[in-house]
Chains A and B, each alone.
Chain A
Amino acid sequence: MKEIKVALVGNPNCGKTSLFNTLTGLNQKVSNFPGTTVDKKVGHFTIDAEHKVKIIDLPGTYSLYPKSDDEAVTFYGLCSHENKDIPDVVLFIADASNLKRNLLLFTQVADLGYPVVFALNMIDLADRKGIEYNYGLLQSRLGVEIIPTNARKMKGLDRIKQAILSAHRSSTAPFFETTGLNQSMLEECKTYLSLNNSYSAVLWAHNQMLLFKDGEQLKKFKEILARNLFCEKKEQVEEIVARYRMIDIILKETSKRKASRNQISLSNRLDTIITHKYFGLSFFLLVLFVIFQAIFSLASYPMEWMEVGMNYFSNEVEHIIPGGTLNNLIVHGILAGLSGVIVFIPQIAILFFFITLLEDIGYMARVSFIMDKLMRSFGLNGKSVVPLISGMACAVPAIMSARNIENKQEKLITIMVIPLMSCSARLPVYTLLISMLVPETYLWGFLNMQGLILMGMYVLGFVTSLLSAWVFQKILKPAGNNYFIMEMPAFKIPMWRNVFLTIYEKCRSFVFEAGKIIVAISILLWALSSFAPAGEFEKLDAKYKELASAPTKSAEVLAAEYQSEKLEASYAGYFGKMIEPAIAPLGFNWKIGIALITSFAAREVFVGTMTTIYSASGDESDFSSIRLKMIEEINPLTHQPQYSLAVIASLLIFYAFAMQCMSTLAITYRETKSLKWTLLQLFYLTALAYLSSLLVFNFLK
């Protein structure tokens, strides 16, 4: 069976993903292009008994003059001689309702000499706009086979498959004549790079920085260009103008514009409402409200099932495997880590359901549009809004969704500040601490004081994240193009297939990539709390053996106290005591120190750890027992309550700012591909938490 390599190329928003999904179904793999965080989607399908196709979805671009990482990948995919997947055929997809701009890229690809199959998508939309094409004439003018498609209705797929077999180079003369350029330079470039296509020499000259990693080669190539007085910007502009002139002539001959029935399209009418000064903003708030509610309330059911399921599974495993360290490691290290991974899946799935849906119908472009100005003043982008808001549910999917931001610096700043948004894991910690801070009273008879403070914590997180973004913007030098030029695609009916495929893909990549790191750290934390310096546990065992032989307390109380002392004696307790001098200025003792260490697995572990330390009874949802024990504790030095107002406030602030989430760190590393930024995130958040707590504690003391 012969394998044909096909590259799928087209503008953004022309239905490329839909066509890819329809052609390949679930038979696709997503990975990263080497050295980038750009998704590389590769799929397979068969044409007939002798031919199968490996299709690569290259990121959408408007031209072969790349301006972002994504676009550079497409350029590499078509032009780099180091690319092992250099396509045999290019499947070009274009939006028929907006053909002029789409043809710019087509003429570039055709001039590179690739055999092209031309899928003309969204004919129904063009029809509604009153645009009619003479397909026969268009076909002969473009010199390739044109296939009208509708990925939504699976129309044209068989013809595409057949056309791939018979694809040929564009039979017309080049759309852009390179004869008008500096010939001696082109010849020199062609010889130097051993090329036979003149237009690819032109593109290499324009994108030299992208093609040579090797300093010596780049230097020599630059010398050739400099000797020939090569002027990059000017020539790019001239080429684009020349191509559009040609496209205008072709389109004038091959298309007709009927007076369309309704002059103002439905999409345009929707836009006047959705981008309206007051209504547009209210509608956006409503959308956020729905997403937020869904993540909080809908996700809680499957999360509960998963927790129950995992607990049941852990219990079973605990009984099947013989007791001892191995059993302990599997149940409390590996399985606990695994359940920490899968418990996030419902939130990720629900968040991405909304994000993909809104992206698919075209609403996301409007969100960026209406919020851009506000976010820009903080060094962010209109597209940062959704990731930030999602951070209130969970920073993990929120950071994953920051991928849509093209500007590298704005994307980075967004990722850096997302963990400051109060996520749902902080909720149990806040609830416990706030209940110790104020009794359940009502202000003016109806405002719940605890609820008010809780809301204050959320507001604090939001404001701090904007301020931090502003600081980052001041420190970082503006990188790359700092403009906002974005197509606003017409509103479309969503393709559910796309939505569900994306959800599947996001969950899969979370489980397999961030999951690895989470499980590893979980095992480490398990080891810290289950091992102790030599002899410590033995001493403890002996002590409790004695106590058990002459019981003064019930067996349950003894067991709880044993667990508490065991944690104190373990390495976690050891480290808790070790960091005590560092956290004492914040009003924290070594018990809180242990909780700070263990809650690195997940913030809500704070409550569980405190319960173990104070050997309190009851599960995590019942705070009354642990609350009482903490309130009653007396500081042996001051003879005042250990948990004074100052300590609780300081602890609250610490949990609001500190980077205590290994999943977030793992996902930040995955998305930034940079250890430097991941560590910076850890350190700046920890420093912010430390200093703020220090201030609060000393102010209230």
Chain B
Amino acid sequence: MKLSALAKGIEAVIVSIEDEDLSVKLYEMGCLPGEKVKVENIAPFGDPIAITVSGYKLCIRKQEATSVLIKLDISEGN
């Protein structure tokens, strides 16, 4: 499933990032495979979204979130 489809308040784990250009930026911002994510806020017009990852809050557009693959089962993560 994609991060853009994750409902607010639900925790998930990042599996991979599909877009190679984007992955350098997202990786350095701490969005790594195995990392837990949670959607915290959604902007008034429905986009962008604010997520918690690596212990801080990050804003990304829905467009970027479609490149982030996640899974809901957090037990297998680290």
A contact set with B: CB distance below 8 Å: 62-63, 65, 67, 97-98, 100-101, 104, 129, 233-234, 236-237, 240-241, 244, 268, 271-272, 275-278, 280-281, 365, 368-370, 372-374, 481, 483-490
Is B72 positioned at the interface, with any CB of A under 8 Å from its CB? no
Q: Does A276 contact B56, Cβ atoms closer than 8 Å?
A: no
Contacts of A271 in B (CB 8 A): 40-41, 50, 57
A280 CB contacts on chain B under 8 angstroms: 44
Contact assessment for B55 and A100 in the assembled complex, using a CB-CB cutoff below 8 Å: yes
Q: With A275-B43, A369-B48, A374-B45 in contact, do A488 and B27 touch (Cβ < 8 Å)?
A: no
Enumerate chain A residues within 8 angstroms of B55, measured Cβ to Cβ.
Answer: 97-98, 100-101, 129
Q: Is the CB of B28 within 8 A of A275?
A: no
- In the docked arrangement, what's the CA distance between A280 and B41, Å? 11
Contact partner of A63 (CB less than 8 A), chosen from B20, B28, B45, B47, is: B28
Q: Which of A63, A97, A100, A488 contacts B59 (CB 8 A)?
A: A488
Q: Mark B29-71, 1 if CB is under 8 A from A, else 0.
A: 1101000000011111111101000111111110110000000
B43–A276 CB distance below 8 A: no
Q: Given A272-B41, A275-B41, A365-B59, decide whether A484 and B48 contact each other with a Cβ distance below 8 A.
A: yes
| B73 at interface by CB-CB < 8 Å | no
B51 to chain A: closest residue by CB: A488
- A240 near B24 with CB under 8 A, answer yes
With A and B bound together, what is the CA distance between A244 and B24 in angstroms?
Answer: 13
Number of A-B contacts (CB under 8 A): 114
**Cross-chain contact A237 with B48 (CB below 8 angstroms):** no
Bound-state Cα–Cα, A374 to B57, Å: 22
B47 and A373 within 8 A (CB): yes
Q: Considering the chains assembled together, what is the distance between the CA atoms of A370 and B49 in angstroms?
A: 9
Q: Give bound CA distance, A277 to B46, whole Å.
A: 9
B residues less than 8 Å from A365 (CB atoms)? 59
Q: Which residue of A lies closest to B64 (CB)?
A: A483
> Taking A62-B28, A271-B41, A485-B26 as contacts, is the C-beta distance between A101 and B47 under 8 angstroms?
no
A237: which B residues are within 8 A, CB to CB? 20, 23-24, 27
**A/B interface sample: 29 pairs, CB < 8 A:** A63-B28, A65-B28, A98-B55, A101-B29, A101-B30, A101-B56, A104-B30, A237-B20, A240-B28, A244-B32, A268-B40, A275-B42, A275-B43, A276-B44, A278-B44, A280-B44, A365-B59, A369-B50, A369-B59, A370-B44, A372-B48, A374-B45, A481-B25, A483-B25, A484-B64, A486-B60, A487-B58, A488-B50, A488-B56
Does B5 belong to the interface (CB within 8 Å)? no
Assess whether A275 is in contact with B50, with CB atoms less than 8 Å apart. Answer: yes
Question: Residue among A233, A240, A272 with the most chain B CB within 10 A?
Answer: A240
8 tightest A-B CB contacts, nearest first: A373-B45, A488-B57, A275-B41, A63-B28, A240-B27, A98-B56, A101-B30, A373-B47
B27:A241 contact, CB within 8 angstroms: yes
